[in-house]
């Protein structure tokens, strides 16, 4: 019995030591591991579900899916629309995804069989231009440019099976729009919807009651030309939101290209420290390490202090960056069929 008691005490000590060990947070990202994909399409739509399951979409009607962490990819053209640009995709599970095309036709498709077939669930009017989607549980929203002095805000309550235009969408300026650079100019969480307008009037529109009432807030992001403004947003906690952008015609410019809010988007400040090292079209929060990752055509940056200071860590450029649903991996997509996973 004495022998077993000693063994028992040893196991307790070892278990206690194991619990006392803290997770090691790397000092900074190492870079990106690029995947071999079977396409040269420009990929702005990206939706990782786990470390193994990732959906992507882009120009030429392209969709992609991997089930083995990027070792192999399936691909095809959504409903034969080889001239459409599917700039956003929301993966629901390994077999189900919702894809949105910007421009004409402004359509939303859904697959439930792993991409073998795609069914059209929405088609907008000839004036429509869709910019991005965001889902929270079964509810999803899509934002589109201003039509007839109203922002086009679409809603689905059944995971993209049916879409309706919101009658109470906010008023918008003639010619107003949002950037469809990475599908991430819109956010949704419980009863909240946020979206960013673009160009010379780059503001934040927010509804705290599922789109029944809207408020509009000014931002200090660069917004002197139509090519400037907010391109991407991410929530970092209950009250914190970080937005990035700049001027897509000046890839290396850091002028007023990153802003932070600590009150759910009501007020904003410019990043007080070093800003991202160029125009940025995508930003994501990697909660595992408390990192913000932002990407653009000239490289990638990260922040460890809620967007108050940024550091460049890679020369690799991308359009979009997304964390998977399990928050264990972070991915990026870009021009020429490029998809990559963050290395740390």
Task: Please report, for the chain, the start and end positions of each structural domain, with discontinuous segments joined by +.
Answer: 32-343
Share of the chain above pLDDT 70, in %: 93
Per CATH, which fold does 32-343 belong to? Answer: Methylamine Dehydrogenase; Chain H (2.130.10)
CA atoms 269, 273, 278, 281: torsion sign: negative
Nearest to 138 by CA among 190, 182, 101: 190
Distance (Å, whole) CA 158 – CA 155: 9
Distance (Å, whole) CA 281 – CA 29: 19
Mean pLDDT confidence for 180-202: 97
Nearest to 138 by CA among 195, 101, 186, 96: 96
Distance (Å, whole) CA 197 – CA 186: 10
Contacts of 171 (CB under 8 A, 6+ apart): 149, 150, 151
Three-state SS at 293: strand
Over the stretch 287-296, which tens digit does the pLDDT of each residue have? 999 999 999 9
Distance of CA 40 to the CA centre of its chain: 21
pTM, to two decimals = 0.92
Model confidence at 94: pLDDT above 90: yes
Mean pLDDT of the chain: 94
Nearest to 341 by CA among 327, 325, 326, 322: 322
**Residue whose tokens read 């059209």:** 120
Over the stretch 264-289, which tens digit does the pLDDT of each residue have? 999 999 999 999 999 999 999 999 99
């Amino acid at each position: 019995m004495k022998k077993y008691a000693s063994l028992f005490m040893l196991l307790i000590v070892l278990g206690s030591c194991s619990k006392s060990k803290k997770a090691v947070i790397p000092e900074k990202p190492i870079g990106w591991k690029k995947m071999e994909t079977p396409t040269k399409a420009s990929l702005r739509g990206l939706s990782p579900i786990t470390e193994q399951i990732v959906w992507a979409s882009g120009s030429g009607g392209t969709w992609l899916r991997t089930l083995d962490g990027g070792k192999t990819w399936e691909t095809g053209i959504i409903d034969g629309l080889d001239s459409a640009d599917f700039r956003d995709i929301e993966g629901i599970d390994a077999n189900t995804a919702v894809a949105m095309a910007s421009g004409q036709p402004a359509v939303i498709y859904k697959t439930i069989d792993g991409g073998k077939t795609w069914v059209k669930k929405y088609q907008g009017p000839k004036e429509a231009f869709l910019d991005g989607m965001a889902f929270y549980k079964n509810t999803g929203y899509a934002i589109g440019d201003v039509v007839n002095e109203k922002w086009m805000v679409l809603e689905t309550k059944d995971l993209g099976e049916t879409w309706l235009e919101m009658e109470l969408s906010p008023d918008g300026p003639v010619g107003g729009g949002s950037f469809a650079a990475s599908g991430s100019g819109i956010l949704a969480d419980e009863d909240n919807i946020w979206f960013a307008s673009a160009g010379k009037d780059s503001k934040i529109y927010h509804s705290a009651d599922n789109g029944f009432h809207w408020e509009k807030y000014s931002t200090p992001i660069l917004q002197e030309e139509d090519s400037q403004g907010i391109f991407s947003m991410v929530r970092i906690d209950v009250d914190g939101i970080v937005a990035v952008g700049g001027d897509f015609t000046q890839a290396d410019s850091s002028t007023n290209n990153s802003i932070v809010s600590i009150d759910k988007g009501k007020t904003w400040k410019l990043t007080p420290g070093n800003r991202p090292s160029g125009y940025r079209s995508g930003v994501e929060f990697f909660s595992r390490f408390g990192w913000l990752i932002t990407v653009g055509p000239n490289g990638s940056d990260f922040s460890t202090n809620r967007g108050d200071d940024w550091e460049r860590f890679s020369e690799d450029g991308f359009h979009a960056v997304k964390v998977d649903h399990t928050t264990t991996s972070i991915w990026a997509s870009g021009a020429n069929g490029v998809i990559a996973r963050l290395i740390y």
